[in-house]
Amino acid sequence: MRQGASPPPPIGYVPWDRPSPVLDALGGFFRHDSDPLQIGFYVDQHKVNARGFLHAGVLATVADVAIGHALAESTDPPTNLVTINLSCDYTGVAEAGTWVDGTIEVGRVGRRLAVGTITFVAAGRSIGTGRGLFLPV
Sign of CA dihedral 59, 62, 66, 68: positive
Nearer to a copy of itself, 4 or 21 (CB): 21
Tell me which DSSP letter residue 71 carries: H
Q: How many residues are listed for the chain in this entry?
A: 137
- Considering only residues 37, 86, 106, 121, which one is a binding residue for a copy of itself as defined by CB under 8 A? 86
| Least distance in angstroms from the C-beta of 70 to a copy of itself | 15
Residue 22, SS3? helix
Residue 104 interacts with a copy of itself (CB under 8 A): yes or no: no
How many residues touch a copy of itself under the rule CB under 8 A: the total is: 49
**Binding status of residue 22 toward a copy of itself by CB under 8 A:** yes
Cα–Cα distance measured from residue 22 to residue 78, given in angstroms and rounded to the nearest whole number: 21
Q: Is 133 in the site for a copy of itself (CB under 8 A)?
A: yes
Residue 55 binds to a copy of itself (criterion: CB under 8 A): yes
Q: Quick one: which segment of 6-14, 31-39, 61-69 binds a copy of itself (CB under 8 A)?
A: 61-69
Distance CA 125, CA 97 (A): 15
Q: Are the beta carbons of 72 and 82 closer than 8 angstroms?
A: no
Residue number, 12 or 49, with CB nearest to a copy of itself: 49
The CA distance from 105 to 118, in Å, is 6
Q: Does 20 bind a copy of itself (CB under 8 A)?
A: yes
